[in-house]
Structure 1
């Protein structure tokens, strides 16, 4: 499936919610399930290895345990549940309990995304409306693994869905994200102003967005600097007030292949 086909497919999954949910609620459910399916596919090749090593890490300090499991997963996140989305389908009667177990056993940064999405309450609501198994089953039929969808394309798919759901909710344009063309111009102007310094190579650049929103400015700055100056290390920092938008930002970074090594995000509170 190409980019547009995947977006159209996921958009059709949202039709299952019609009648039980209002249109402005669709994104609250479909976006975290999109993130879950991507992480599920990305982690699948090393799943059994992670489970085997996880048993041997019992009793280790949290930091050492996390590093070992990340090394085995070959990613900055992992999951220690025996479930995958496909395995969840084998037990429809206990889909809610098993799905919660699956998500709760993500490493802390990935789990934080789902908690900020209020995912567990969404699961309870879907189960109460007899929709949870249908949603899981549908998402299992789309391949969001890296062989089918690379990090940049996955980020674009997620951004496309976010824009559509925001429009469906009649939210003000720019409330959650800024137009990509405008961001690109702003980023290019910033880079041009530091061209002499960046051209020297092996530089470390720090960028901070105090109103990160969905993270579009941070991810685009990272992409553009790497494109122009591949030997430069970009460290991104951002904060966001709204929990769901914070989750969206963090999820987008993960879906684009970013990790805690280069992105530092925190949620600002009143």
Structure 2
């Protein structure tokens, strides 16, 4: 996507080089040549980047989560979040590296791996109605002998938040989306997801509480001041990059895209009885945008 340099310059002391990571990911995209047109590479690459990022983030606590799930498959999701250290988790013993060790059953095992993510991640990755409908791409890659090489390559990609912070990850996504938009043919579709501007504007990404520890409200402040924000991530301070909703949407419109749909994902109804989950209806956390290149 196009950069807004006049704003970036006010916040960035030095540019962030993401060429190594982006070039490696783009080399994976080239493995799809023949099976996919270039404007459709994103249908595979964006979900795989998200999956690999989540996998790297969960790695330090993964074994504990798996052991807890084996001992009690009905272990409350809210409590599992505390074990994983995130608002999501995965209960499978698989990871991408392990999946490639059984090439004959790769597609089925990959789907099982994705089904082991918490419901909020499943909705983003595999839902045909609200998400990226990635099962369809798994089947397509498997049918055309592309799945093994793609999964293996992503298993070797380091997207660990401890080595690639959220600011750098944001630049990686932006550079990939820019390349996809440049390669998009007329009529081609683009789908991307970001943290919602309402969620990231203030920076802390946490509720305001009263003296009893009860939630009062979620802070939204400095909305029109784009740039770096500091939040807590795995009990450490991390830096993220914030943009307004106007910037996201107008960047698409100024690059000849038509906006098809905007989704602000909500917790599924079957999770609403989990303590604290109802509070997730009080503010949006994620934003998914679907757009199409003008004919």
TM-score higher than 0.5: yes
| Structure 2 partner of 1:187 | none
| Structure 1 partner of 2:219 | 205
| Structure 2 partner of 1:8 | 23
Q: 1:146 aligns with which of 133, 152, 161?
A: 161
Tell me the TM-score normalized by structure 2. Answer: 0.61
| Structure 1 partner of 2:275 | none
In 1: Cα distance, 2:62 partner to 2:174 partner: 27
Q: 1:93 aligns with which of 91, 104, 121?
A: 104
| 1:34 is aligned to 2:34 | no
| Structure 1 partner of 2:273 | none
Shift in Å, 1:265: 4.7
Shift in Å, 1:118: 1.1
- Identify unmatched segments of 5+ residues in structure 2: 1-16, 193-200, 203-215, 232-236, 250-258, 266-279, 290-295
Tell me the TM-score normalized by structure 1. Answer: 0.66
Residue by residue, what CA displacement relative to the aligned partner does 1:110-162 show, whole Å, maximum 9, x if unpaired?
11110211100000000000000000011111111122211221121112111
Residue by residue, what CA displacement relative to the aligned partner does 1:233-259 show, whole Å, maximum 9, x if unpaired?
x9x99xx9856x7499xxxxxxxxxxx
Shift in Å, 1:203: 9.1
| Structure 2 partner of 1:78 | 89
- Identify unmatched segments of 5+ residues in structure 1: 178-189, 192-201, 208-217, 249-259
| Structure 1 partner of 2:59 | 44
Moved over 2 A (4+): 55-60, 202-207, 220-227, 240-243, 245-248, 260-268
CA contact (8 A) 2:191 2:288 kept: no
- Supply the RMSD in Å over aligned alpha carbons: 3.8
Alignment of 1:83-232 (within 5 A): 83-115=94-126, 116-170=131-185, 204-206=218-220
CA contact (8 A) 1:79 1:105 kept: yes
- Greater strand share, structure number: 2
Shift in Å, 1:262: 6.4
In 2: Cα distance, 1:247 partner to 1:129 partner: 34
In 2: Cα distance, 1:262 partner to 1:75 partner: 18
